[in-house]
Amino acid sequence: MTFLFPGFLWALAALAIPVIIHLFQLRRFKRIDFPNVRFLKDVAQQTRARKKVRHWLTLLARMAALACLVLAFAQPYIPRTDAPVTSGQRAVSIYVDDSWSMDGQNAEGRLLDQARKGAQDVIMGHSASDRFQVLTGRFEGRQQVLTGRDEALASAAQAEVGPFSRPLSQVLARQAEALARAEAPVRRRYLFTDLQRASVDVERWTDDTTMRTVIVPLSSAAPDNLSIDSAWFASPVRRLGQSEELHVRIRNHGEQALENVPLKLTVDGRQRAGSTFSVEGGAAVDTILHFTNDATGDHWGSIALTDRPVTFDDELFIAYHTAERLRVTLLSGGDAISDKSIEAVFAGDSSHVFTQFPYKAFDLSTLQRTDLVVLNGLAEVPSGLAGALKSFVDEGGSVAIFPAAKLDGSGLAPLLTPFGISGPSRTDTAAMKVDRIDLEEPFYREVFSTMPRNVELPLVRLRHAFVPRPGADQLLRLQDGSTFLSATRSGRGKVYMCASPLTEAAGNFTRHALFPTSLLRMAELSRPMGMLYHIIGDEATIALDGVEMSGEGAAHLKGPQGLDLVPELRRTPAGNAIVLHDQDLLPGAYALVLEKDTLQMLALDLPRTESDLSAYSPEELQRALEQQGLGSFSVLDTAPGDLSLSLKDLDQGVKLWKWFLIAALLFLALEILFIRSEK
């Protein structure tokens, strides 16, 4: 047993006062003579002895009551073995985990409600002069200021679940930063959390003996959860009338297998597809939702299932753009025959808009209304056109280059050099076939599922030795291993480089089925369709593909429940982007609006890191702390119903002053009893 205020023990010297009073208490006895005093003498001796015993018992009871009262004022306690107890003002930081997983429940109810109640118990267990920080996963600036007890109680009561899941290393660092500014000699940290494995990064924690840290685990009774993990389209481009395949991945984070779970797709407020799926425990399953694009423009939708009690990950919002037609522009170098071959691929297809210009008469302003630019038979490229094409590709467009039969070594350099393509170093006229189609590349993988070994591939009689940039995709190779068709990424777009001209003398590529397939695929992949959805908190900057900001008005981001905010607009060489600054946004569909025009639809979704509810047990965490040598950390291992009682003893061990006060009252009662019996 130890005392918080040992200076009060000097008051035990007051025990001498009742002793002195007792010793100097004099009572005069009146003598009465009797004829026969033998029997009276015996009675007198027996009465005096009993009185003497009662007097000593009264003295002891009085001294014990006084001693217990002094000890109560000295604040006795049984110290905890994991940390010393000191007196003085305290600075206390309390973290209330408000991530979505705290919506789970156990026998005592909702986890977040228990965390808020525990935080309030800690606050009320301290003095009104102590200072407090109540921190949540939102990491708001006002949460870094130490406040009084009343403000701290209100902040703890206002904590609500949100989309922010913070690693505990970041939480501890933020607590230490706030407590470091306090002048109080005693600093404490408390963490009320469900100990999800995704957030408990013990290896990143640091031991700080100046501030004791107590972790209060709140375990969910049922860690089972079903979540929509991700979604993607089978094809990269949405077009009018196209039959779409939307792939959806669902994860079962529990141990029980689920069968015939319904899944539905809603687009623009209408249900467009539905399906059912079955998934084993602890596994993931992919399912496909089929629907047909029946309107052009921007669309938003949601994929939803039903699963309780954790529901934040049961819906995934998406947004996409459906193009009516793809725009292809041919810049001709004068080879009419090969130009006709290119025109035949696109002109007869209603899903494409095809235009043709001599390269010297091309209006550069039309690039903004083009998806794919095909350069055919050019021996040279003017510097102005080369610079415009470089910007066009960086902003997301695509360029396909089919060189002329006769090339000057520097004629194409203004165009090729910025993309890292060198050459040509030589021209080879030896006949050679295309060796194989690389189905590992996504370019052809979505077109051909398998390729027969004896398939007849194009024959090449003339080719230039271009060297693509390192890391470029080699879509087609010749039998000698050299590159025939390559794809080089630059910015958000691509440059397709063919080593051979499209003339009859150069080979039969234009008469092979692979030629229209390749051109159509280039057009299909010409413009990025943008992200299907963005994750709140993970992506602070969102690129706006193909969105031009004109005028002086500010763009507004309008979302669910009437939300209207003005995001920061950032212009970069790759294009425009908006910055959300890690805002606490609601999941759903958002429209980027400038004046009365909708520039783009965006879908914002909650992160799925909280979907896996597997957590550390108190015993596992304690072992991990011991392995890392974190002696200033302790884990409160107690039943939920005993939480408030255990929190009262966290800061000062097991307090005993109440028991000594009760003992003082009992000894006073004994003293009164002895005095009354004497009468």
Q: So what's the pLDDT on residue 10?
A: 80
Max CA separation in the chain (angstroms)? 163
Say which amino acid occupies 131. Answer: R
Q: What angle do CA 637, 639, 640 make, to 5 degrees?
A: 115
Please check whether the two domains, 90-222+613-652 and 326-524, share a CATH topology: yes
Query: What per-residue confidence (pLDDT) applies to 331?
Result: 95
For the chain, how are helix, strand and coil distributed in percent, rounded to 5? 30, 30, 40
Flag whether pLDDT at 184 surpasses 60. Answer: yes
* Residue 554 DSSP code: P
Mean pLDDT of 59-65: 84
Q: Which CATH class, in words, describes the domain spanning 90-222+613-652?
A: alpha beta
Task: Examine the pLDDT at 495 and tell me if it is beyond 90.
Answer: yes
> 496 pLDDT exceeds 90?
yes
Q: Work out the mean pLDDT of the chain and round it to a whole number.
A: 84
Residue 566: helix, strand or coil by DSSP?
Answer: coil
For residue 118, give the DSSP letter.
Answer: H
Torsion sign over Cα 173, 177, 182, 185: positive
pLDDT tens for residues 504-552? 999 999 999 889 989 988 988 886 667 899 888 766 788 776 676 666 6
Per-residue confidence (pLDDT) for residue 338, from 0 to 100 = 93
So what CATH class is 326-524?
Answer: alpha beta
The average pLDDT across 581-594 equals: 83
Check residue 107 and give left, alpha or beta (phi > 0: left; psi -120 to 50: alpha). Answer: alpha
Q: Which residues sit opposite 354 in a β-bridge?
A: 328
Residues of the chain above pLDDT 70, percent: 86
The CATH code of domain 226-323 reads 2.60.40.10
Question: DSSP characters for 279-332?
Answer: E-TT-EEEEEEEEE--S-EEEEEEEE---SS--TTSEEEEEEEEES-EEEEEEE
Instruction: Summarize pLDDT for 329-363 with one digit per residue, the tens.
Output: 999 998 999 999 999 999 877 778 899 999 988 98
pLDDT more than 90, % of the chain = 37
Q: Top-level CATH class of 534-605?
A: mainly beta
Residue 224, burial from CB neighbour count under 10 angstroms (0-12, 13-18, 19+)? middle
Distance CA 625, CA 610 (A): 23
Q: What is the pTM of this model?
A: 0.65
List the 473-478 sheet strands across, edge first.
352-358, 326-332, 372-378, 398-403, 493-498, 483-490, 473-478, 432-437, 459-460
The pLDDT of residue 181 is above 50: yes
Give the pLDDT confidence score for residue 26 in this predicted structure: 47
Residue 640's pLDDT is 45
* Res. 319: pLDDT tops 90: yes
Higher model confidence: residue 198 or residue 262? 262
The most confident of the ranges 432-441, 568-577, 626-635 is 626-635
For residues 94 and 123, give the distance between their C-alpha atoms in angstroms, rounded to a whole number.
9
Question: For 121-167, how does the pLDDT look when each residue is reduced to its tens digit (9 = 90+)?
Answer: 889 888 888 999 999 988 888 999 999 999 999 999 999 987 778 89
User: pLDDT per residue over 187-221, tens digit each?
Assistant: 999 999 999 988 999 999 999 988 889 999 988 77
pLDDT the model gives residue 37? 55
Backbone dihedral angles phi then psi of residue 106, each to the nearest 5 degrees: -135, -165
Q: Can you give the residue ranges of every domain in the chain? A: 2-79+658-678, 90-222+613-652, 226-323, 326-524, 534-605
